[in-house]
Structure 1
Amino acid sequence: MTHQRSSGNANQTFFNEGDKNHQSLSPLHSTWVTAFLKEEDTLSILHQIYLSLFINNYTPTVLIDLQGQIIQVNQSALEFLQYSSADLILSPYSNLLRINKKSPDDMFIKKINESNPFKVECQVLNGIGELIPVLLSATPFVIGEELIGTFGVIHDMSEGYRLNEITASKDPLTSLPNRLSFLKELTKWHTNGESFDVLRVDIENLKDINSVYGYEIGDSILKNVSERLITFLGKQTFISRFGDASFVCMATDELKISKNQLLKRISKPIKVDKEEIFFRVLIGKVYFPQDGLEVKDIIKSLDLSIQLNKCRKRFSSQKEIGEQELIQRVKLENEITMALKKNQFELFLQPKVLWKEKKIKGAEALLRWTHPRYGAVSPVDFIPIAEETGLIIEMGEWVFEEVCKVLQKWKNTNIPDKTISVNISIQQLYRKGFLDTLVTLVNQYGINPNLIELEMTESTFSYDTKKAQRILVDCQQAGFHVSMDDFGTDYSSLNLLAEFPLDTLKIDKRFIQSYNRNERSQVILKSIISLSKGLHLQSVVEGVETLLEFEAAKKLDCDIIQGYYFSKPLPIQKFEEYANQFDYSIYINT
């Protein structure tokens, strides 16, 4: 029969402070200590056992008393859990462990008091807020015949039973120190108290590259980036592989690195079978002690730095913009996800006018969002976030399917054929199976692909020219038309015209809107339209808002005019009414 002790001095240390053979140990905070420290022989034996099984154990271990209170943790546990001893000692075990539903909390306490070894699968909440799946092996802690509590040995199960992971120090792919090694080194630097800089480098689109080109290409990029970091930052910098697509670098000397310097060195494309593979890099930077006094604060600041860099798309410290902006951005991202699920988006159409034939040729499909609480949300606010997070892919497919539904409806109700242009993002175009998705949808709705025009900006074309060229040739062969949007905004415009299969040039609206006050705009517009005729491409002047701009577009002899002068983007039904009642003469006599 066992009994629970209730007397003793909670502040008394477990071993004699005068013992010079071992390091000073933290107080063992429990009421039963004094009762067992009466005889020196017993103390010496317990001392050796304790050192062997607990303090010097390379496996994370915690000591929990019969009430479920954590009374001691070893150094391996502190490193694995990313806590200080003060964070854990005297706290209830439930602050750290999340017990499986099959083993509720009262059962856990009951098992500790049964004096039998047991194992339980659960989760631990570490110092930076991550839940890690673990296997807890509990061994009774008995002194004499008295049950004191249990030793809980923690095995990391985040990638299966990797009981030896705690001793691993290298990343097998890059041979750099791994995340665990970084955390140990960070703890060491932090303990030394010297100021230092931490730099994090993330490969933003590695997941997409793996999906499109395969994991071998992704691995090649990771190896190349690691080698470039070592070459550029030097041996004095501690460089580690921090995550699947990220590296962390630490230096005691200030890392005075500009965006251009770093990006130029590490983000050059890699060549695979004579093809260049491009990747995007995000950089975050924090300073100790300015950006966090504790190890967990430094990690949080580093994560925040990367997140804020995603928001701003620039090299900066997280201190340059507030956390509130990040919070708003994350909330908006969640709202976008919810809007897709709850069908809050709506398709609008803006008319495109064949002015010589005095009729509506078709429309451009545009996305609009009316939030149930906040009302209309501008595309300027939600489209960039959708592109950054990858939600633009789901959003783009939704738009394309809605366009197919509209064209099917027009076909079934004998409305004269009209084309609809659909904006295609860079993420969509280079996504594996892009064209297969489009073909499946037009076949599903019985639509002629000639009625759909795929509209892309110059930057989308130029991201990976050879791959884009192949995809667009296939799109044309499948029956789709291809349009270059915002033509004239990129230095490579003329080169793209020579290389890409196109049907339409859509001229950036800034040219027409400055036409009547800028002589150079007049020359450029005239040249572009003349060029399009020579290449047998349709020319679209967009952004026409006034009578003067309308007259200028006609004078330039473009093919199609689009803009608020004729109509703003309209809901489907309103567009159908507008197209049915369209009277070109109204606009001539304005």
Structure 2
Amino acid sequence: HSPTPPLSQLRVPISIDEQLWGYIGFEDYRQQRQWSSGEESILIAMAASIGGALKRQLAEATIRYQAYHDLLTGLPNRTLLNERLSLALETAHKHRNKMAVMFLDLDRFKTINDTLGHAVGDRLLQSATQRLKSCLRVDDTIARWGGDEFTLLLPEINGIEDATKIAQRIIDVLKPAFDIEGHQLYITSSIGIAIYPQHGQDAHTLLINADAALYRAKAEGRNNYQIYTPAMNSQASELLELENSLHQAIQEQQFVVYYQPQVNVNTGEITHMEALVRWQHPQLGLISPKTFITLAEENGLIFAIGTWVLQTACAQNKAWQDAGLPKVRIAVNLSVRQFQQPSLVETVAQVLQETKLAPEFLELEITETIAMQNVDFSRAKIAQLQRMGVRIALDDFGIGYSSLNYLKKFGFDTLKIDRAFVRDLENDPQSAAITSAIIALGRGLNLSVVAEGVETVEQMNCLRSLNCEEMQGFLFSHPLSAEEASQLLVDNFRSQIANFRLNSICHLK
């Protein structure tokens, strides 16, 4: 360019879809002049040609980007992840480096989608993505594999410890609440880890083994990471087979409800019966809920199973009342997806109406994790159920969020002390101190306090000394069939009558 401005110039805009991108023109530094229509036509043609070329380049770039990226999160997609994985494997093989592949699943994300809608779910995915990216190194890749599942590629690691540090960092970074459109949302993650070369030397094997480790992390209760072991492949296939059997189990009514009593140790009276579902598998025998509830939640079968358990338990309690036995409350556990189900209140009302059980004889149990997934939603749901007359118990208290502030806000009726504290009561002063504090807290808030997992006389006596009256555990009874539970209630009733008569005679004397 000349240091002096041109004496005459002609400029034509370059536009793409009516958006200005720049100019093309002629300049004359020697004289002022009139530009001819021919010169102007040349510029117009050149501008149109350049604009068309730029538009094609942008379209091609957009197509390339969309082919290799997830549009919602902006992360690499499967295609780009697979390409980077192939390159990373070549480099690792050439330089004898270790590398890691990780599968990550956002726990219970589907529940949020189901209850609050996909718009909130999409915002949550975008926010979670930003937190996940903050945990990675510069050369690491995180890709959206699909839905709420992500894949991580960690090239050039020193060993398993490097991968587990990042996995723990991810678990920790997701713990704080997400504020999405006025909702306080909590999510956790399950992570499966496979290391090159010991867990696989090709992309397919590493991905399969990381996925098997993810399956194991979910089976272990979620919110954890697992490193691949060869045994996990058979475990993953067993879980898949079990998941397929669940459909048949519902159709053939293979589920059965057992009942475990809750006892007032001062009076000897049974106050509650907790309904516990079991799966009577034709080949595998009795399967505990720990094994199949997670699977049922993932494939949506939990709604049918949960409604059946609620119906069965309420009908059984009404049958006990109709038989003239003392009236006890029936306690039924709710899973995450059950509680978040929009129609839960209507379902409970319908079951109570059909079984003719009065609402005050039903207690629904939820965990801290369930309550804290969406605080506002949970508070409203609990209030609706309580207005109906149903009681709400906070199960496994002490191992989750345990915020005194939210405990007051939710307005629970009952606190159930987690068995982990009860188990260590005799030998661990900290467990005893925590248990004592929970009991005092519950009493201060006018809540019923129940100790779970009581297995020894020493534990019972220790709890009594801390002013805990209601207990549940193997010391009093294992879970019983409906027939066995009926007999226990009959025996307990007779015992109460005998004690009443004895006390009356002693009083007369």
TM-score of the aligned structures, taking structure 1 as reference length: 0.61
Counterpart residue identity of residue 173, structure 1: L
Correspondence 1:263 to 2:181:
no
1:180-219 aligned at under 5 Å gives the runs 180-187=79-86, 194=94, 197-219=100-122
The DSSP-based 3-state class of the residue aligned with 1:368 is strand
- 2-side partners of 1:510 and 1:268: how far apart? 24
Query: Which residue of the partner structure matches residue 282 of structure 1?
Result: 190
Change (3 A) 1:396 1:493: farther
> Is residue 566–residue 587 contact of structure 1 (8 Å, CA) maintained in 2?
no
User: Distance between the aligned counterparts of 2:420 and 2:109, measured in 1?
Assistant: 35
Structure 1 position 450, deviation (Å): 1.0
Which is bigger in relative contact order (C-alpha 8 A, separation at least 6)? 2
Distance across 2 between alignment mates of 1:451 and 1:203: 36
- 1:243 maps to 2:129: no
1:362 counterpart residue number: 272
Checking the alignment, whether the CA contact within 8 Å between 2:386 and 2:392 is kept in structure 1 is yes
Q: 1:234 to 1:481 in 2, by over 3 A?
A: same
C-alpha distance in structure 2 between counterparts of 1:224 and 1:372, whole Å: 45
Verify the 8 A CA contact 2:186 2:372 in the aligned structure 1: no
Contact 2:184 2:373 in 1 (8 A): no
Counterpart residue number, 1:476: 386
Query: 1:326 — aligned with what?
Result: 236
Give the deviation of 1:478 after TM superposition: 1.5
CA contact (8 A) 2:453 2:473 kept: yes
On the 8 A contact 2:113/2:121 being kept in 1, the answer is yes
Q: Distance in 2 between matches of 1:570 and 1:526?
A: 30
Note if 1:175 corresponds to 2:175.
Answer: no
Distance in 2 (CA, whole Å) between partners of 1:547 and 1:235 is 57
1:419 and 2:329 matched: yes
Structure 2 residue identity aligned to 1:279:
I
Query: In the TM superposition, what whole-angstrom CA distance separates every residue of 1:338-365 from its partner, at most 9, and x where no partner exists?
Result: 4333222211222333455554333111
Q: 1:471: how far off?
A: 1.8
Report the CA distance shift for 1:283/1:577 in structure 2 as closer, same or farther (over 3 A). closer
1:176-575 aligned within 5 A:
176-187=75-86, 194=94, 197-233=100-136, 236-250=139-153, 252-254=155-157, 256-257=162-163, 258=165, 259-265=167-173, 268-288=176-196, 290-312=198-220, 313=222, 314-319=224-229, 322-354=232-264, 359-383=269-293, 391-410=301-320, 412-413=322-323, 415-490=325-400, 492=402, 494-509=404-419, 528-546=438-456, 557-575=467-485
Distance 2:250 2:74 in 1: 42
1:208-238 deviation per Cα after TM superposition (whole angstroms, max 9, x unaligned): 2211221112222332344445554355344
- Give the corresponding residue for 2:5: none
CA distance change for structure 1 residues 210 and 566 in 2, over 3 Å: closer, same or farther?
closer
Structure 1 residues 201, 553: closer, same or farther in 2, change over 3 A? Answer: closer
Code of the residue aligned with 1:344 in structure 2: it is Q
CA shift, 1:555, in A, is: 5.5
The question of whether the paired residues in 2 share the 8 Å contact of 1:487 and 1:493 is answered with no
After superposition, the Cα gap between the structure-2 partners of 1:560 and 1:294, relative to the gap in structure 1 and judged at 3 Å, is closer
Aligned-pair distance for 1:295? 4.3
Where structure 1 has 5 or more consecutive residues not aligned to the other structure, the ranges are: 1-163
Shift of 1:529: 4.0
- For 2:461 and 2:143, the matched residues in 1 are separated by 62
The aligned amino acid for 1:327 is S
User: Residues 204 and 574 from structure 1, CA distance in 2 versus in 1: closer, same or farther, beyond 3 angstroms?
Assistant: closer
TM-superposed CA distance for 1:476, in Å, is: 0.6
CA distance in 2, matches of 1:496, 1:167: 43
CA deviation after TM superposition for structure 1 residue 388, in Å = 6.7
Whole-Å Cα distance in 2 between the matches of residues 513 and 342 of structure 1?
38
Does the C-alpha gap of structure 1 residues 447 and 524 become closer, same or farther in structure 2, counting only changes over 3 Å?
Answer: same
CA deviation digits over 1:175-195, x for unaligned, max 9? 334333333444555567646
RMSD: 3.9
Task: Indicate the SS of the match to 2:371.
Answer: helix
Per the alignment, do residues 341 and 175 of structure 1 end up closer, same or farther by CA in structure 2, a change over 3 Å counting?
same
8 Å contact kept, 1:544–1:565? yes
Equivalent pair of 1:225/1:266 in contact (CA under 8 Å) = yes
CA contact (8 A) 1:311 1:326 kept: no
Matches within 5 A, 1:571-586: 571-582=481-492, 583-584=494-495
- Higher share of residues assigned helix: 2
Q: Distance in 1 between matches of 2:198 and 2:475?
A: 55
CA distance in 2 between partners of 1:209 and 1:438 (Å): 21
CA distance in 1, matches of 2:234, 2:367: 32
Q: Taking structure 1 as reference, are residues 171 and 406 closer, same or farther at Cα in structure 2, changes over 3 Å only? A: same
CA distance in 1, matches of 2:181, 2:66: 38
User: Using the alignment, how far apart are the partners of 2:75 and 2:426 within structure 1?
Assistant: 60
Does the residue aligned with 1:456 lie in a helix, a strand or coil? strand
What is the deviation of 1:514? 5.6
Q: How many residues align?
A: 426
Give the Cα separation in 2 of the matches to 1:517 and 1:167: 60
Contact kept, 8 Å, 1:541 with 1:560, in 2: the verdict is yes
SS at 1:467's partner residue? helix
Cα distance in 1 between the residues matched to 2:266 and 2:389? 26
User: In 2, Cα distance between the equivalents of 1:545 and 1:469?
Assistant: 34
Relative distance call for 1:223 and 1:487 in structure 2 (3 A) is closer
Distance in 2 of aligned mates of 1:474 and 1:462? 17
Q: Secondary structure at the match of 1:570?
A: coil
Q: Percent identity?
A: 28
